[in-house]
Amino acid sequence: METQKNGRAASTGELTRRQLLRRGTILGGAAALTGFPAIIRAKAATTTLSFWQFYAPGGPVPAQSQWFEDAVAAWNAARDAKIQLEYVPSGDYMNGTKLPTAFASGQGPDIFLISPGDFLRYYNGGVLQDLTPYIDAHTRSDFSQSVIASRKVDDKIYGVPMEVEPMAFYYRKDFFDKAGLNENDLPKTWEQLLEIGKKLTTSDRFGLLFETMPGYYQNFTWYPFLWQGGGEIQGSDGKSAFNAPATIQALKFWQDAVKSGAAPRKPLGGGVWDIVPNLGSGYCAIQNCGIWGISNLQSGAKDVPYGIFKLPTPPGGKYVTVGGGWAMVANAKGKNPDAAGQFCAWALASASPDSLKRMVDWCTVAKSDMPPRQSAFDTGKAAFETGQMKIFTEQIYPGARAEPRVPPQVYKIVSDAIQACQLNGAEPAKQAETASQQLDAFLAGYTGAKIL
Amino acid sequence: MAFGGAEGVEYETATGRRAARGAPWSMRRREAVAGYLFIAPDAIGLAIFAALPMLLALGLGFYEVDGFGGYRFAGLANYRRMFLDPLFLQSLRVTLFYVLMLVPSLYVVGLGLALLAQRRSRISGLVRSLFFLPQMVSLVVVALVWQVLLVDKIGPVNRLMSLVGLGGLSWLGDPDLALASVVVVSLWFLMGFYMLIFLGGLQDIPREYYEAAWLDGANPIRAFFHITLPLLRTTSFFVLLVATVTAVAGGQAFDLIYVMTKGGPANSTELTIYYIYQQAFQYNEFGYAAAMATTLVAILLAFTFLLFRITRGGRFE
């Protein structure tokens, strides 16, 4: 009978059910076995430390990813604990799921970059390694104390600042010329800024550009306008200080800019941090942007004639801008937190000339930023006092205040108030009051590290 | 045929073995086992990648989760918080408006295109392909292209609108227009898919019904309302159900919103699915997000159950 059955299958060329199952099992088994070497390789790779960053290889400024590659190559050449760089697209890195899911599943990178806006999220989550033991006392005092403060808890350092990025306004000189304006007309007050913005607005161009996309970055760019009138998110008593005239004034100013038609509701490119598609393309005549705009324009819109001026102030206000910037941190729950911590200190916070050079190169060659270490400023002084950087060094940076570190819930409350006033015509006083109540409700139950 | 020839040989063989093992399997049982084996890969996939995560999300909703491995039992706290959270309630309203704008538009446009595309002509294949083309493009690319088209002041759409005195609108930056803009882009992306489904339904309607109607003097409009629409009831049920579930679950809207508006301006495009994403991945509120996701699934289940009851499983008997 069996012969008959086999003969039938053979003669028709069809598989019986049993043959199909048997062959399927063999194929499946073979596939599983061939997978073993890959599993073994993957296991071996886990001893290498991972370093996640968002500067694309061959991206708009190739020197930026090159800086990371050079630093990691120098470390790997001299150490047993090897590091492997992994590029994560900036959108996914800053607003996506990559980092949160990695940490939620215990697979977070060993070394990564965070902004002050995200510091409390990771510190309160217990994944930031204390870097203080790896940084000598002299280097610790070499850092700008206001800059490193937002990376410290109980006098311990949890992140090495790579840069300081103060905000300012960039303007197109050719558009100023066409409108009959010159450097003497650069605005000193909010009112003048709005007037010039209106004057520079045409049928195919906006006069002014503020960030409109909700997110950490929008809050970051709005804080100086809050501070200039003496406003704060949190008072010294730990309660909300948001319901104040300074808040209302700042919310109203951004609202007026959009209402007047001088500022758009949507920027071009990746957002208002992205200066080439906006000011560079002629979409706007004046753009609120950080110091990195210099290197981005140099790289992406070399021939655009532009100038820079510091943030104007409100009536009775005091000049202040915000200084953001990323910091290198080590994962306390990673594969080798000690080696990861050593790398962060070795890269940018050691007394060695190489470490200092890396910081100067990062701030002058790869980017156009202010250095967070005094000795790095002294070493690269020539670069910081040349061309457009000179304006930042002399006029803008001296009034910089470190970017606040707030938990995500606080950021959302502030963001909702900004968005409602700027784009939905909401009453600033009402929004300040509502946001303040929400802040108080949150702060009453908040138990994490101090909000700064 | 079923028991003749070679089948008979196999039956005899199996009978011989059965006698040896002493465990008789009827043909019906063997067919059932074979059937289950065939659906097993799909069922296992669904169990692992759909049912299990849903169960885990249900459980997670009762915990406070910090996103770094910390879990604390919170009972119903996440559910209580949800009903007091104005942003969650607003996101439900935004989702409702999105569904109310998108689903009827999809129905009308999908059916309209199917009626146009079913006519046999030399270019009907090309027309069908053109309408289906958006489905072949990645949603992120779709969102980026539309973002460029809808740019304030200098975008192509605004340039065109300014010819009729309607320039200067901010399609994605004005809270009154942003959701409608997302609906239009969703519609543009999905219409080809629903056109195909309606085409399938239309081709199932026997031509004889139309011929009889024309002989009786019915015009095309009467034929549409008295033959086409009634005989498309099951297709319509499928379209309405799938379009609604997809819209609520963020099938295409999530990607579009992620790229084009980030839930703004002023939360006007913050669908519940996007708010859940924000809570989980931006604010590390995984437990709260799981509770909201569970509630959203419960709403969808209730809607589907109701629709099945009203239409008697789509048969409309």
Question: pTM for this structure?
Answer: 0.84
Reading the block at residue A266, the tokens are 């949507």
Minimal CA–CA distance to A294: which of A348, A366, A193? A366
Report pLDDT for B235.
Answer: 93
Cβ neighbours of B262 in A, within 8 Å:
95, 213-215
pLDDT band at B308 (very low <50, low <70, confident <90, very high): confident
User: According to DSSP H, which parts of A213-331 are helical?
Assistant: 216-228, 245-259, 275, 293-300
Instruction: Tell me the β-bridge partners of A308.
Output: A170
Report pLDDT for A117.
Answer: 85
Interface contact flag, B173 A5, Cβ < 8 Å: no
Give pLDDT tens digits along chain A (452 positions).
Answer: 343 444 444 444 555 656 656 665 665 555 555 554 454 444 444 589 999 999 988 777 788 999 999 999 999 999 999 999 999 998 788 878 899 999 988 999 999 999 988 899 999 999 999 999 999 999 999 999 989 999 999 999 999 999 999 999 999 999 999 999 999 999 999 999 999 999 999 999 999 999 999 988 999 999 999 999 999 999 999 999 999 999 999 999 999 999 999 999 999 988 888 999 999 999 999 999 999 999 889 888 999 999 999 999 999 999 999 998 999 999 999 999 999 999 999 999 999 999 999 999 999 999 989 999 999 999 999 999 999 999 999 999 999 998 999 988 899 999 999 999 999 999 999 999 999 999 999 999 888 888 88
pLDDT band at B312 (very low <50, low <70, confident <90, very high): confident
Across the A/B interface, how many CB contacts are shorter than 8 Å? Answer: 108
Domains, chain A, ordered by start? 49-164+325-395 (3.40.190.10), 165-323+406-444 (3.40.190.10)
Interface contact flag, A104 B263, Cβ < 8 Å: no
- CB within 8 Å of A403: residues ≥ 6 apart: A115, A116, A117, A150, A220, A223, A322, A323, A324, A325
Report pLDDT for A94.
Answer: 82
Report pLDDT for A27.
Answer: 59
Mean pLDDT for all residues in chain B: 88
A10: contact with B, CB 8 A cutoff: no
Q: What is the mean pLDDT of residues B167-179?
A: 93
Contact A307, A171 (CB under 8 A): yes
A203: contact with B, CB 8 A cutoff: yes
Interface contact flag, B66 A125, Cβ < 8 Å: yes
Q: What is the mean pLDDT of residues B25-43?
A: 92
Report pLDDT for A9.
Answer: 44
Cα distance from A447 to chain B (closest Cα, Å)?
Answer: 13
Q: Is A58 left (phi over 0), alpha (psi -120 to 50) or beta?
A: left
Interface contact flag, B262 A424, Cβ < 8 Å: no
Domains, chain B, ordered by start? 78-311 (1.10.3720.10)
pLDDT band at B240 (very low <50, low <70, confident <90, very high): very high
Report pLDDT for B311.
Answer: 83
Output B22 or B293, whichever has higher pLDDT.
Answer: B293
Q: Residues B268-287: pLDDT tens digits?
A: 999 999 999 999 988 889 99
- CB within 8 Å of A22: residues ≥ 6 apart: none
Pairing assessment for the beta strands A160-161 and A327-330 based on DSSP bridges: antiparallel
Best of B17, B278, B284 to disrupt the A interface (most A CBs within 10 Å) is: B284
Q: Residues B103-130: pLDDT tens digits?
A: 999 999 999 999 988 887 777 788 888 8
Q: Residues B57-107: pLDDT tens digits?
A: 999 999 999 888 889 999 999 999 999 999 999 999 999 999 999 999 999
Interface contact flag, A100 B284, Cβ < 8 Å: yes
Give the span between the Cα atoms of A212 and B133, in whole angstroms: 33
A2: contact with B, CB 8 A cutoff: yes
What type of residue is A267?
A: P
The pLDDT of residue B155 is above 80: yes
End-to-end CA distance of chain B: 37
Report pLDDT for A58.
Answer: 78
